[in-house]
Amino acid sequence: MKFGTKAVHAGVEPDPLTGAVMTPIYQTSTYAQESPSKHKGYAYARGANPTRDALQKSIAALENGQYGLCFSSGMGATDAVIKLLNPGDEVITSNDLYGGSYRMFKKVYERFGIKFHFIDLTKAENITPLINQKTKLLWIETPSNPLMRIIDIKACVAIAKKNNILVAVDNTFASPYLQSPLLLGADIVMHSVTKYLGGHSDVIMGALALNDAKLRDELFFILNSCGAVPSPNDCFLVLRGIKTLQLRMQRHCSNGRRIAEFLVSHPKVGKVYWPGFPDHPNHEIAKNQMTDFGGMLSFTLKDDSQEKANLLMESVELFTLAESLGGVESLINHPASMTHASIPKEERVKNGLSDSLIRLSVGIEDIEDLIDDLASALEKV
């Protein structure tokens, strides 16, 4: 099946009991057993729920994987992957990670004796000198947030595989429509389902997709033992959201392109970070590993002050000033004070994340209205 067909059909079968075409919300915490431990495959809903099962199959199919596991948030899914490790183990990851991932690695798991190396992964060769016997995981996020750097997944996988290092990719920004890390050799894909998969800014959820049965069992053991499971109602909402994933992504991409082109030619705009520009430093890699360039972009103002950036963010009317991304509605965000506030300023600036940087999650509205909104806000700056 091709992507759009999978988005509509994968994992979803008419309900065996009634023939209901849409998977019901199995709002139950437990299941009746015929005799002790003799049941229909469902014993207690932390372990399994039919609505969640359907969603896990759908996400696995979209990611070209055998298995899917859903969690109560993207951070819950990331947490499960890190719990595969032991004290003393080392992780190599990038220096412009999602702020919440950075916070978890640095402030939670370093206390548990796991060591993290935050480096520039846009140059895969930077990995090699850090590898030792204790290196167990390579954690990749691409496109990166908010600077839209692109990491060459295949090149990183080649180095990791030679050294028996597990590769996990945070595929949240790309969505499975734009990028398929498992096909590029990654072992695990992580999603903040909250974003494009859910697509309507009404659910917090995370997911993993993968191919290895043993690894799936280990991660399921962690999911069931630690308990970060999603609700059946949220699983239903995401199953519904996924049906339009292809259509939404196509519009996110075409609107994103138009806005990137509008901004880059605007006299008040400084730098525009969007991987679709031929002069973007990682454009060729983006072209190779992604089907399009997505609806996420960032920019600075020529007058590079936080004051002017604030004025712009207060002046837009259609764009909502809010954290998060990937919903049908357009959002505007100030990484330095919002999503990336947990990264110390020194670290932030060192990694190119200036105080005046503005991030857009371009929605699926009519493009003329979005451009008008940005144009009149820029006028006031």
Ligand X SMILES: *Cc1c(COP(=O)(O)O)cnc(C)c1O
For position 273 contacting ligand X by CB under 6 A, the verdict is no
Assess 172 for contact with ligand X (CB under 6 A). yes
Does residue 292 carry a catalytic annotation? Answer: no
Residue 103 among the catalytic residues:
no
CB of 195 or CB of 280, closer to ligand X = 195
Cα–Cα dist 163/170, whole Å: 21
Q: Please state whether beta strands 188-192 and 206-210 pair in parallel, antiparallel, or not at all (unpaired).
A: antiparallel
Contact flag: residue 94 with ligand X (CB under 6 A): no
Residues 353 and 340 sit within 8 Å (Cβ to Cβ): yes
Nearer to ligand X, 51 or 101 (CB): 101
CB closer to ligand X out of 15 and 329: 329
Instruction: Write each residue from 57 to 86 as x if it is in contact with ligand X (CB under 6 A), else as -, in one continuous string.
Output: ----------------xxx-----------
Task: Give the one residue of 194, 201, 330, 356 binding ligand X; rule: CB under 6 A.
Answer: 194
Q: Is 248 a catalytic residue?
A: no
Active site residue 369: no
In whole angstroms, the minimum distance from the beta carbon of 331 to ligand X comes to: 12
252 binds ligand X (CB under 6 A): no
Q: Which is nearer to ligand X, 308 or 340 (CB)?
A: 340
Q: Measured between alpha carbons, how far is residue 165 from residues 19, 150, 184 in Å?
A: 45, 21, 15
Using rule CB under 6 A, residue 177 touches ligand X: no
234 binds ligand X (CB under 6 A): no
Q: Indicate whether 105 belongs to the interface with ligand X (CB under 6 A).
A: no
| Residue 30 beta carbon to ligand X: minimum distance, rounded to whole angstroms | 27
- Residue (98 or 131) nearer to ligand X, CB: 98
CA distance 275 to 349: 21
Check binding of 101 to ligand X (CB under 6 A). Answer: yes
One of 136, 149, 195, 216 is an active-site residue; which one?
195
Please identify which of the residues 26, 98, 102, 273 carries the catalytic annotation.
Answer: 98
Verify binding: residue 152, ligand X, rule CB under 6 A: no
Burial of 41 (0-12, 13-18, 19+ CB in 10 A): exposed
- Among residues 53, 89, 96, 170, which one is catalytic? 170
Which range, of 84-92, 168-176, 264-272, 352-360, touches ligand X by CB under 6 A? 168-176
Q: What is the nearest approach in angstroms of ligand X to the Cβ of residue 99? A: 9
Spatial separation of the C-alpha atoms in residues 244 and 131, rounded to whole Å:
42
State which of positions 334-373 bind ligand X (CB under 6 A).
none
Q: Which residues bind ligand X (CB under 6 A)?
A: 73-75, 98, 100-101, 141, 145, 170, 172-173, 192, 194-195, 204, 206
> Catalytic positions, please?
46, 98, 170, 195
